[in-house]
Amino acid sequence: MNNSDEHKKKGRFGEFGGCYLPEGLMAPIKELEVGYRRLIEDGNFRNVYENLLEEYVGRPTPLTEVARFSDAIDGPKIFLKREDLLHTGAHKINNAMGQCLLAKMLGKTRVIAETGAGQHGVATATACAYFGIECVVYMGVVDMQRQHPNVQRMRLLGAKVVGVDHGAKTLKDAVNEALRDWSETFETTHYCLGSALGPHPYPEMVANFQSIIGKEAKAQCEQRFGKMPDLVVACVGGGSNAIGIFSSFIADSDVALVGVEAGGTSLSLGHHAARFHELKKGVLHGCYTYLLQNEEGQIAETESISAGLDYPAVGPQHAALFEANRVEYTSVSNEEALAAFKLLSSTEGIIPALESSHALAYVAKIARDLPKEHIVVINLSGRGDKDLPQLFERGL
């Protein structure tokens, strides 16, 4: 995989990435790229951001062994990277604080965001409240129903939540509306995109803000075990939590990396969100990557018990890592994720997000085949409080 400066300059990860946008969005994306490049090299920006991560967000997060969970699945030594313990309850706050600080320093007075599971919306609303910036969050009405507690949190934090009631009424459609808004208001507005996808420079920028997860995890493994883990696992929707923890281990060839997608109710097109199962390439929301398409080339419907994984495309860096055979991508079903959700809750007193439960479920499936001395790190990207209402409706 070509990771040269030239490719990064063009916003490319191998053949993937780029910036494919209508003319009305080229001015805001260029302005953002110039501003991001200037501030990311600014020592003051970095110092303020790092202080926020420590004093407001709650970093570093611990590495927690889950021995009873491992015993229940006859597994190896399993450790969770506890992003669920961050302020707002998920990794999304790492990126939201970075982008909203960027917006503040660029003189923007309004921030818009899209959200699926609601955690990015909550994180953005939180950051905007902290910085004193107006906040508008676009969310599909289907996701608003199944993630209602997060809708209430966003509104309490002062954000305006705009329901999107067309298309599949989920994350893809929320992104469409946010992009339309941005094209009309960019002079005063920053679009805080929540995952490591979309047009350049978003994949690089979001991965940068989330890379703290991997940096901490690697240092914690070196200190605790005196070596690297044997396996690192994370769920993959757009891919921000996964690229965040993978980033520090990509160059360590002895560390196996696995990304787990949403297998939904079946692997028939329209019933899952497993982009690497279909292996079709195309452009969605400004970047070239793997995405779900029907026979006519139209974006396919997706399905997942997890709103945060219910998206038809994957971040371009993940596509490149797949092509380079550096990361294995697989999927688990709704029911497998739900079983892992229940198991971690009952054995460890930790209620995981349904997104993170996909990573837990994958490890549960392969646990008996792993040597007992293996060290497995799972990125627990968020906590599951937000998921309880919909799960109780399902008869949990």
pLDDT per position as a tens digit, 324-356: 999 999 999 999 999 999 999 999 999 999 999
The residue from 114, 216, 261, 348 that is catalytic is 114
Structure tokens at 21: 């946008």
pLDDT exceeds cutoff 90 at 30: yes
pLDDT at 117: 85
pLDDT band at 164 (very low <50, low <70, confident <90, very high): very high
381 flagged as catalytic: yes
Pick the CATH number of 9-53+92-207 from 3.40.50.970, 3.40.50.1100, 3.40.190.10, 3.30.360.10: 3.40.50.1100
pTM, rounded to two decimals: 0.95
Beta bridge partners of 331: 261
Beta bridge partners of 111: 135, 190
The domain segmentation of the chain, as residue ranges, is 9-53+92-207, 58-89+210-393
How many Å separate Cα 293 from the centre of its chain? 21
pLDDT at 396: 78
Please provide the average confidence, as pLDDT, over all residues in the chain.
95
Lowest mean pLDDT among 211-215, 330-334, 387-391: 387-391
Structure tokens at 242: 């996964």
pLDDT exceeds cutoff 90 at 194: yes
Q: How far apart (Å, rounded) are the C-alpha atoms in residues 234 and 352?
A: 13
For the segment 68-87, the average pLDDT, to the nearest whole number, is 98
Q: How far apart (Å, rounded) are the C-alpha atoms in residues 342 and 45?
A: 41
For the segment 19-42, the average pLDDT, to the nearest whole number, is 96
N residues, the chain: 396
Q: Is 372 exposed, middle or buried (0-12, 13-18, 19+ CB in 10 A)?
A: exposed
Q: How far apart (Å, rounded) are the C-alpha atoms in residues 382 and 396?
A: 19
- Highest mean pLDDT, choosing among 114-123, 209-218, 381-390: 209-218
pLDDT at 55: 98
Query: CB–CB of 188/111 below 8 Å?
Result: no
Instruction: Note the pLDDT tens digit of each residue in 281-306.
Output: 999 999 999 999 999 999 999 999 99
pLDDT exceeds cutoff 50 at 2: no
Q: Could you give the percent of the chain with pLDDT greater than 70?
A: 98
92 flagged as catalytic: yes
Query: CB–CB of 377/63 below 8 Å?
Result: yes
Q: How far apart (Å, rounded) are the C-alpha atoms in residues 231 and 249?
A: 10
User: Sheet of 110-115: strands edge to edge?
Assistant: 160-164, 134-140, 110-115, 189-191
Please determine whether the domains at 9-53+92-207 and 58-89+210-393 fall in the same fold group of CATH. yes
pLDDT at 1: 35
The residue from 77, 92, 104, 218 that is catalytic is 92
pLDDT at 9: 56
pLDDT exceeds cutoff 60 at 254: yes
pLDDT at 190: 98
Q: How far apart (Å, rounded) are the C-alpha atoms in residues 277 and 282?
A: 15
pLDDT band at 383 (very low <50, low <70, confident <90, very high): very high
114 flagged as catalytic: yes
Please report, in angstroms and rounded to a whole number, the separation of the first and last CA atoms in the chain: 44
pLDDT band at 246 (very low <50, low <70, confident <90, very high): very high
Pick the CATH number of 58-89+210-393 from 3.30.390.30, 2.40.50.220, 3.40.50.1100, 3.40.50.12160: 3.40.50.1100
Lowest mean pLDDT among 64-73, 74-83, 142-151, 347-356: 142-151
Q: What is each CA distance from 213 to 16, 240, 347, in whole angstroms?
A: 24, 10, 25
pLDDT exceeds cutoff 80 at 6: no
pLDDT band at 146 (very low <50, low <70, confident <90, very high): confident
The residue from 183, 304, 331, 381 that is catalytic is 381
pLDDT exceeds cutoff 90 at 395: no
**Which long-range contacts link 65-74 to residues 24+ away (Cβ below 8 Å)?**
66/344, 66/347, 66/348, 66/350, 68/347, 68/348, 69/343, 69/344, 69/347, 69/348, 69/360, 70/367, 71/347, 72/343, 72/347, 73/343, 73/363, 73/364, 73/367, 73/368, 74/367, 74/368
Query: Where do runs of H (alpha helix) occur along the chain?
Result: 5-9, 23-40, 43-52, 67-72, 92-105, 119-131, 141-146, 148-156, 171-185, 202-210, 212-225, 240-246, 275-278, 316-323, 334-348, 354-366, 388-393
**What phi and psi, each to the nearest 5 degrees, are found at residue 144?**
-65, -35
